Amino acid sequence: MPQTLKIALAQIAPVWMNKQASLEKVATKIDEASSQGAELIVFGEGGVPGYPFWVDATGGAKFNDPQQKEIYAYYQSQAICLEDGDLDAICARLKAHQMAAYIGIIERAADRGGHSLYCSFVYIDPQGNIGSVHRKLMPTYEERLVWAIGDGNGLRTHKLGPFTVGGLNCWENWMPLTRASLYGQGENLHIACWPGSLRNTEDITPFLAKEGRSFVVSVSSLMHRNDVPLDMPYGQEIRDALPELVANGGSCIAAPDGSWVLPPEIEKESLRYAVIDYDFVCRERQTFDPVGHYSRPDVLSLNLDQTRQSCLNIQK
């Protein structure tokens, strides 16, 4: 069995607030990565249809504000509904290429009524099957004005070649127990998605690699003021309120010893590649294994509830 895996980091600017165009851009990057032999491609947080940058810039905390309601309703209209098959074409494309993917989406969850939005990280395997949909456990600060709170259903790992891969959204990567839940499931390749900021990825990526003795892949998006479409509600007002560079990227990969495989890259779209070697993980686990020989389950342990939470349980 091969001991390596080729990963593609897709640092792209979403076609902001446009679900279909963003999905088409994702599909193009999948095709390009496949032509280079990639076995896993990773996209940033909420890349379809984009991160809610307007909230902080336009007084999003105003209660019952008509402007905020209208922007939110438009955001909702462009969100991904898995039950409606919004990712079916992407799944088919990945199956055709025999490639896996982690894709950050804004999910309009039919199992929660279809009107609340979740920041979700979707894993699709090389057979085109959705393996997990992780809804962000705790949206960060102003994100709570537009995203609902997730659950533990998507806190799962997946076998991919020689690796066991898991993923988290943005500041979830700072949550020790959330990380431990993936370590405990054998994770040795950790995927972290971000809306786009070097200040996030440059410090935490090597730290997580050293803590987990795993490869850690951080993938961010980009965003410029002019990416805001003028045909959306209050498009010009949102442009005027944002800085020229809203999100600067910072995608990177760290090795299990904390060294850079790919250092952070900023301020440009890119599709970068790296081949990682499973033996590197094995060597680093000799001295430290967070859930193996360097753990004390007789003293400390973690409970994980993977139930998909719902307000309605139908018994037939």
User: Percent of the chain scored above 70 by pLDDT?
Assistant: 100
Residues 6+ apart with CB under 8 A from 139: 119, 146, 147, 148, 149
Q: Which of 45, 107, 143, 265 is catalytic?
A: 45
Identify which of 201, 230, 231, 229 has the alpha carbon closest to the alpha carbon of residue 217.
201
CATH superfamily of the domain spanning 4-284:
Carbon-nitrogen hydrolase (3.60.110.10)
The predicted pLDDT at position 298 comes to 96
Query: 103-144 pLDDT, tens per residue?
Result: 999 999 999 999 999 999 999 999 999 999 999 999 999 999
Dist CA 277 CA 172 (whole Å): 26
The predicted pLDDT at position 312 comes to 86
Q: Helix or strand or coil: residue 72?
A: helix
3-class secondary structure per residue, 46-65: CCECCCCCHHHHCCCCCCCC
Instruction: Supply φ then ψ for residue 241, to 5 degrees.
Output: -90, -15
Q: Which of 136, 187, 252, 284 is catalytic?
A: 136
Q: What is the pLDDT along the chain (316 residues), one digit of tens a residue?
A: 779 999 999 999 999 999 999 999 999 999 999 999 999 999 999 999 999 999 999 999 999 999 999 999 999 999 999 999 999 999 999 999 999 999 999 999 999 999 999 999 999 999 999 999 999 999 999 999 999 999 999 999 999 999 999 999 999 999 999 999 999 999 999 999 999 999 999 999 999 999 999 999 999 999 999 999 999 999 999 999 999 999 999 999 999 999 999 999 999 999 999 999 999 999 999 999 999 999 999 999 999 999 999 988 888 8
Mean pLDDT of the chain: 97
Q: How many residues are recorded in the chain? A: 316
3-class secondary structure per residue, 106-153: EEECHHHCCCCEEEEEEEECCCCCEEEEEECCCCCHHHHHCCCCCCCC
Q: Which of 119, 170, 193, 252 is catalytic?
A: 170
**Side-chain half-sphere CA neighbours of 249 within 13 A:** 20
The domain segmentation of the chain, as residue ranges, is 4-284
Q: Helix or strand or coil: residue 257?
A: coil
Query: 285-301 pLDDT, tens per residue?
Result: 999 999 999 999 999 99
Residue 45 annotated as catalytic: yes
Query: 184-213 pLDDT, tens per residue?
Result: 999 999 999 999 999 999 999 999 999 999
* pTM score, whole prediction: 0.96
Dist CA 34 CA 5 (whole Å): 13
